[in-house]
Structure 1
Amino acid sequence: MTTTPTPMLEIRDLRVTFPTDDGLVHAVNGMDLTLARGETVGIVGESGSGKTVTSQALMGLLKDTSARVSGQILLDGTDLNPLTEAQMRAYRGKKIAMIFQDPLSAMHPFYPVGTQIAEAYRVHNQVSKKAAAAVAVDMLGRVGIPDPRKRYSAYPHEFSGGMRQRAMIAMALVCEPELLIADEPTTALDVTVQAQILDLLAELQRETGTSVIMVTHDLGVVAEVCHQVVVMYGGECVERATVSDLFKDPQHPYTQGLLASMPSLTGQSERLRPIPGFPPSLLALPEGCLFADRCPEAHRVPDAACATSRPALTGPDIHPSRCHLTVAAPAREVAR
């Protein structure tokens, strides 16, 4: 009798709210996600859809703040949500690590890059400073930093944007975590450096078997490096599928809108179609579908259900969507 392997990560009904003077901001509303070992999942959506807040909750970065986090975050079967900030320090870096969007602000400006990587290694490994420095130099070389021994003593401001991102990757992977969260790791980089960073992440993932969550706006990045995709809107998952299924047959009108707003690789001159309107206020969520006001298909749903009832995430387990009406759409090639 074969047993199903335990997923690396399971998120069950994750909810995150922030109290403000105007009321509660519902940043994440019932997020579910399963990630297998060695797999890469992309989380996509507009700004304010809940992508980064979800990743911060996974890292435990919202502990000891005013945020209210509920639900389960199971890493290798251990629920991280009830853990205290002190307990989470044993997991960060060793079991779960994060590449931040802006490595310059993520690194301490007063300490050399290599020293910071070595310090991250010593937190989880009982080794001398000399041994940790050797590991840091080796890691800088593995991520493609030229002359890593010399660069070990350089400060963050002395690195170019691409080199800082490589150093951030080195710091995140130095303890060989089982789960890596990459939050917009290539947004500020030109396309050539972006391609190098993505190739580097893929190579290091093959070497270490690390599971990866790629948080990004760029559907082209998702098409290149991810196995499955979660589309978020208004703090909810509105569609989940493998990369091939999502690009061939997007079910949710929001996903279709995202794909239609990206350039095509077919070579045909075609006007891009931006999604009109704005995302809903997370302070006062509507009773119905969060996308209803912007949806070109809402008029097709009987009894104005889109405006009065919130759709559930339904459909096949391999490709569910949160919509009252399943809308077929032609496949579309997306440029990176």
Structure 2
Amino acid sequence: MATPFLDIRDLRVDFPTDDGVVHAVNGMDLRLERGDTIGIVGESGSGKTVTSQTLMGLLKGSSARVTGQILFEGTDLVPLTENEMRPYRGRKIGMIFQDPLSAMHPYYTVGTQIAEAYRVHNRVSAKAAKAQAIDMLARVGIPDPVSRYDAHPHEFSGGMRQRAMIAMALICEPELLIADEPTTALDVTVQAQILDLISSLQQETGSAVVYVTHDLGVVAEVCQRVVVMYGGQCVEQAEMEDAFLRTAHPYTKGLLASMPSMADEAGRLTPIPGFPPSLLDLPQGCLFADRCPVAHLVPGNRCRTERPVLHGAGSHRSRCHLSEDLGASESITMEAAR
């Protein structure tokens, strides 16, 4: 069997605090092949960003305790030191951060920072790096890239800063690109432009892309697969059509029901009642049980006492006692449960 491009196995990330240990990621499993485009979705605090930061090695040197495996082309990234991780970060794995204004240094010009990212991994002159940076600015649609090379981040609009952030992430043509909420602060028109830009650059470089977002609409538009996270766990993963039409987990159903719909003239949203569990004190059973409208249908109070495992056939897997038979779960709707 061929080695997967990226294989995350039982990833766990804990943060010691004065109040106790925060279990930010609790047994994350994910497999990704070259050229794939997947979306990781979930509410704030579900573990999406911590997972992506751990993949980039950004928690090394912090107080975080990381266990499990992150196999990238067969090499486990978890035990690598900061120096051992540097050839991967930027060169093989790139990241578009959520807020480019805070991700970029305000003192240095945009072009200088992009050129620096290129020189870190390529033995070239400053002149050659500048030429590469200007070319990359042009590729991401920055007008007049030669003069914009010397502009500071605050001189760019929100959309242009995001494009510059994409240029910095892709300047070394990484094999894996992580996009953490790349369109959150942008208007709808610019959002569409940014998504089209990432897709076109992905086709040029052949890289795999992981979108980290709370926006299911973005995922439906650009991704092939979706991974739904809750309480630091993957609760459902599926091909896009299965995720939307044959949803197996009640939490995923709740997320889909809370999306605005053009068909609803009243414009009403259906929120998921309650709050996510405290990551300081995780419940014994299913992490979604307190908010789940169908937990009472499971006999023997299993949802409160037994943590479900991720199961299913093929690419569609769910962490729910009721969805052990994915076909049977289709008849369980949020409305019927109420």
Q: Same fold (TM over 0.5)?
A: yes
- CA deviation vs aligned residue, 1:203-253 (integer Å, no higher than 9, x gap): 000000010110000000000011111000000000000111101111000
What does residue 172 of structure 2 align with?
A: 175
| Structure 1: segments with no counterpart, 5+ residues | 332-336
Aligned partner (choices 319, 328, 331) of residue 330 of structure 2: 328
Q: Does 1:158 align with 2:162?
A: no
Q: Does 1:70 align with 2:72?
A: no
What does residue 284 of structure 1 align with?
A: 281
* TM-score, structure 2 as length reference: 0.95
What does residue 295 of structure 1 align with?
A: 292
CA RMSD of aligned residues (A): 1.3
Q: Does 1:126 align with 2:123?
A: yes
8 Å contact from structure 1 (residues 249, 330) kept in 2:
no
8 Å contact from structure 1 (residues 251, 329) kept in 2:
no
* TM-score, structure 1 as length reference: 0.95
Write the mapping of 1:138-287 to structure 2, written as runs, cut at 5 A: 138-266=135-263, 271-287=268-284
Q: Does 1:53 align with 2:37?
A: no
Distance 1:189 1:260 in 2: 24
Provide closer, same or farther for how the CA distance between residues 330 and 160 of structure 1 changes in structure 2, counting only shifts above 3 A: farther
* Deviation of 1:74 (Å): 0.9
* Deviation of 1:269 (Å): 5.0
- 3-state SS of 1:53 partner: helix
* Deviation of 1:264 (Å): 2.5
Distance 1:128 1:150 in 2: 20
Provide closer, same or farther for how the CA distance between residues 270 and 109 of structure 1 changes in structure 2, counting only shifts above 3 A: closer
| Structure 2: segments with no counterpart, 5+ residues | 324-328, 334-338
What does residue 76 of structure 2 align with?
A: 79
**Matched AA of 1:31:** M
* Deviation of 1:308 (Å): 0.8
Count of aligned pairs: 328
- 3-state SS of 1:325 partner: helix
- CA deviation vs aligned residue, 1:284-325 (integer Å, no higher than 9, x gap): 000010000000001101011111111111111311101111
Distance 1:317 1:9 in 2: 18
8 Å contact from structure 1 (residues 250, 329) kept in 2:
no
Structure 1 outlier segments of 4+, above 2 Å: 4-7, 264-272
Distance 2:118 2:47 in 1: 30
Provide closer, same or farther for how the CA distance between residues 260 and 329 of structure 1 changes in structure 2, counting only shifts above 3 A: farther
Distance 1:330 1:259 in 2: 14
Distance 2:146 2:4 in 1: 38
Distance 2:266 2:278 in 1: 35
* Deviation of 1:5 (Å): 4.2
- 3-state SS of 1:299 partner: helix
Distance 1:268 1:329 in 2: 26
What does residue 98 of structure 1 align with?
A: 95
* Deviation of 1:6 (Å): 3.1
Provide closer, same or farther for how the CA distance between residues 233 and 149 of structure 1 changes in structure 2, counting only shifts above 3 A: same
